[in-house]
Amino acid sequence: MERKLIAAGNWKMNMDYDQGRDLAKAIVSGLQPSDALVILGTPYIHLKNISGIIKDISNIKLAAQNCHQEESGAYTGEISAAMLKSCGVEYVILGHSERREYFGESDELIAQKIDIVLKHGLQPIYCCGEKLEVREAGKHEELVGEQVKTALFHLTREQMKQVVVAYEPVWAIGTGKTATPQQAQEMHRFIRGLLRKKFGQEVAGGTSILYGGSVKPDNAKELFSQPDVDGGLVGGASLKAGDFLAIASSF
């Protein structure tokens, strides 16, 4: 199982319909075949349209930013895994710290979402990471270890092969304060170690672990050169085609 190098964009709640279409088109026209696998994590309204825009390009895929944990039914305002699949989505970002913080998502709930996404043949991008006070107390490994165990350790090895992990220290998200390459490497190595103990070397070695938190064109290369950092989950810098393309060619 080969580990993929990935530049994933998380547009969050940005880009109206026309802006999203234009951004996707600009990324498609600037992407080089040698670039990493690019994943566009867009708001729901863009998914179907952008799946058409990217359909002939093998190294661009589409992600949703959330998904409901039930199959279907009376959940007004929610979107199911089957709906995402029907729009050409291949990945789903789950457990982002903003979902945890503003929508009260727990790792137990995120585990349910991971299950339904996998059931429908989609790949979760599972986000974990500690807040500043946890890091300052020296408890970041403990906390992230708990997150990973609760959300992922019930999976089979075959299921785990479908999961992408994103380590996103909350203190680095949208703050301009990036983790140092050493801090990122330390945590990625720790996470891969947990996966190795639970799922074995083949699965752990093949799992892409992305770093997220103020990834920019000028810090991407150094972060991605760390042995256990397999790419980035990029927020702010994914909204500008030039910046995002520069990050996608920083491997």
Applying CB under 6 A, which residues contact ligand PGA?
10, 168, 173-174, 212-215, 233-237
Residue nearest to ligand PGA (CB): 235
| Euclidean distance between CA atoms 243 and 3, whole angstroms | 24
For residue 37, the cross-strand partners are 6
Which entry of 98, 105, 130, 168 is annotated as an active-site residue? 168
* Nearest distance, CB of residue 9 and ligand PGA, angstroms: 9
**Cβ-based nearer residue to ligand PGA, 173 or 209:** 173
**Cβ-based nearer residue to ligand PGA, 203 or 241:** 241
For residues 172 and 131, the answer to whether their CB atoms sit within 8 Å is no
Q: Which two tokens stand for residue 246?
A: 């520069």
* Nearest distance, CB of residue 213 and ligand PGA, angstroms: 5
* Nearest distance, CB of residue 72 and ligand PGA, angstroms: 28
**Cβ-based nearer residue to ligand PGA, 157 or 177:** 177
| 3-class SS of residue 88 | coil
Q: Is 120 a catalytic residue?
A: no
**Cβ-based nearer residue to ligand PGA, 212 or 231:** 212
* Nearest distance, CB of residue 165 and ligand PGA, angstroms: 13
| Euclidean distance between CA atoms 139 and 159, whole angstroms | 29
Q: Is 96 a catalytic residue?
A: yes
Which entry of 46, 96, 120, 140 is annotated as an active-site residue? 96
Nearest to 95 by CA among 69, 70, 72: 69
Extended strands (E) in the chain:
6-10, 37-41, 60-64, 91-94, 123-128, 164-167, 209-212, 231-234
Catalytic site positions = 96, 168
